[in-house]
Amino acid sequence: MTSARRVLIYRLGSLGDTVVALPALRLVARAFPDAERRMLTNFSMSTKAAPVASVLEGTGLVHGYLEYPLGLRDLAGLFRLRRDIRRFGPDVLVISPHHGTAEGMARRSLLRLCGIRRLIGVPYDVNQQRPLQLRNDLYEYEGARLLRCLKHAG
């Protein structure tokens, strides 16, 4: 699965969200070892929240970042995001938030409009959008859900 030159990893969140996604990010790096991997993520407005880059710096899992402003609704902002993504020119989008909502569908549609043809790990199936219930009323952790969504990536 190494045919992509550029991979866009879509993952919103900060410190905790990034830590639980580390196994999935390692899988993406193994699946696309020669690709330039950039993460589309939100940049925290709070000075108390650790940025994604502080967790991933020096790991080689990603090579750069594109900002997805939280609460993005204005047309000018959407066009800027589209321009930035097209400028990067990803061949593949990997991982997507687990939104099964209209908002999540709109985000995926926007990414498709950016020219990304291949989507991997996008949780279209309802069972991939939420953690599975395990025995004893426990649920799988988010990292396991992400890996489940990426099972086709290796």
What CATH number does residue 142 fall under?
3.40.50.2000
Average pLDDT value for residue range 49-64: 83
* Predicted TM-score (pTM) of this structure: 0.78
CA distance 135 to 25: 27
The confidence score (pLDDT) of residue 45 equals 59
Mean pLDDT of 120-141: 67
Could you report the per-residue pLDDT of 6-40, keeping only the tens digit for each? 999 988 777 777 888 888 898 889 989 999 999 99
In a domain, 136, yes or no: yes
What is the mean pLDDT of the segment spanning 76-101? 81
Domain with 45 in it: 6-153
Residue 5 pLDDT class (50, 70, 90 cuts): very high
Query: Is residue 1, in this structure, part of any structural domain at all?
Result: no
**Structural domains counted in the chain:** 1
Residue 26 within a domain = yes
